[in-house]
Structure 1
Amino acid sequence: MNKTKRYEILSRLRDNNPNPTTELEYDSPFQLLIAVLLSAQATDVGVNKATRKLFPAAPTAETMLALGVDGIKEYIKTIGLFNSKAENAYKTCKILVQEYGGEVPEDRAALEALPGVGRKTANVVLNTAFGWPTIAVDTHIFRVSNRTKLAPGKNVKEVEEKLIKVVPAEFKVDVHHWLILHGRYTCIARKPRCGSCVIEDLCEFKEKTSD
């Protein structure tokens, strides 16, 4: 895909959604971190349903640590893999309290060292909580990047590296949200809704639908 077409795609996504953000509900970097940790192999809707009860009861690392693993489990048992996620959330809170005064470090290496936090989660937190121009590649972004040919790659790391390379600086902070929302609601997995897509004429996907 050439530079001009890529710029037009990103411009249209920006015009369509000038101030994108995550659909996870949170009031602090800590709550965002926990929400993203819980969202692995789960929907944002399901995570929000659980955190609407969890966060009022334990809004900080200190208060969540006080719940203990079993206490955390009670709030998140409707989410898949809740046993391991409760363990990771508890261990993460313990490290945050002991090493960072209960605050979320604005540092990639420190974030990736937390239990249950990988590169994707760290990218989301750095981008959404701190405004870094990082791009977390999930299944939606991987699909959209490859279908459109915006940033094709064989795996999420390749797609991330390609996006970082080809996305102009003015779009970098928001492109993660545009692509994930586009993949979630328009360029869906089974049958993309090409007929209602704002970038349909620019997209290089060969098997377009009329939906």
Structure 2
Amino acid sequence: MNREKRAEIFRRLRDANPAPTTELTYSTPFELLVAVMLSAQATDRSVNAATARLFPVANTPEAILALGEEGVKQHIRTIGLYNSKAKNLIATCRQLVEQHGGEVPRTRQALEALPGVGRKTANVILNTAFGEPTLAVDTHIFRVANRTGLAPGRNVREVEDRLLRHVPREFLKDAHHWLILHGRYVCTARKPRCGACVIFDLCEFREKDKYAEA
């Protein structure tokens, strides 16, 4: 895919959604960190339901620590893997208090050193909380990048590196959200809604005509 086509893809995605953002509910960088940590193998809707119970009670590292692991579990038990997530959350809060003055760090190295925080979560925090031009490649972005021909890769890191290399600079800050939302609602896994796609003519998906007629 050439540079002009990539630029036009993001131009159209921007026109359709000028101010994209995460569907996770949060009001501080720490709340976003908690929400993203809880979102592994869970829907944003289920995470928002859990944090709606948790945040009014505890929405700072100190308050989470005071709640304790069992207390956290009581608020997040409706989402998958809640036992391990509660354990990681307590360990992360302890590290935030002891090493970062209770604040969410703004560097990748410090973020990835937190228990339960990997590269994808760090990228989300850097991009959404702090406005850094990073891309967190989840299953939606991986699918869209490969299916459309935008930035094909064999694994998430390969796709991330290619996107960072090929996405025009002016679109890089919001590219993460545009691609996730496109994959979640249009370029879906089993039955992509090609007939409703704003980048249909630019997409290099070989079977797009079949799905456009479905």
5+ residue gaps, structure 1, are none
What is the Cα deviation at residue 144 of structure 1? Answer: 0.2
Alpha-carbon RMSD across the aligned residues, in angstroms, is 0.6
User: Superposition pairs for residues 107-122 of structure 1, below 5 Å?
Assistant: 107-122=107-122
What is the Cα deviation at residue 99 of structure 1? Answer: 1.0
User: Superposition pairs for residues 81-96 of structure 1, below 5 Å?
Assistant: 81-96=81-96
User: Superposition pairs for residues 193-208 of structure 1, below 5 Å?
Assistant: 193-208=193-208
Summarize deviations over 1:118-140 as a string: whole Å, max 9, x none.
00000000000000000000000
What is the Cα deviation at residue 47 of structure 1? Answer: 0.2
Percent same amino acid at aligned positions?
Answer: 69
What is the Cα deviation at residue 103 of structure 1? Answer: 0.5
Provide the residue aligned with 1:30 in structure 2.
30
User: Superposition pairs for residues 1-211 of structure 1, below 5 Å?
Assistant: 1-208=1-208, 209-210=211-212, 211=214
5+ residue gaps, structure 2, are none
Give the length in aligned residue pairs: 211
Any runs of at least 4 consecutive aligned residues in structure 1 with deviations exceeding 3 A, and if so which?
A: none
What is the Cα deviation at residue 98 of structure 1? Answer: 1.1
* SS in structure 2 of the partner of residue 56 of structure 1: coil
Whichever residue aligns with residue 179 of structure 1, its letter is: L
Summarize deviations over 1:85-114 as a string: whole Å, max 9, x none.
000000000111111111000010000000
* Distance in structure 1 (CA, Å) of the matches to 2:25 and 2:111: 20
The TM-score normalised by the length of structure 1 is 0.99
Summarize deviations over 1:142-180 as a string: whole Å, max 9, x none.
000000000000000000000000011101100000000
* Distance in structure 1 (CA, Å) of the matches to 2:187 and 2:35: 24
The TM-score normalised by the length of structure 2 is 0.98
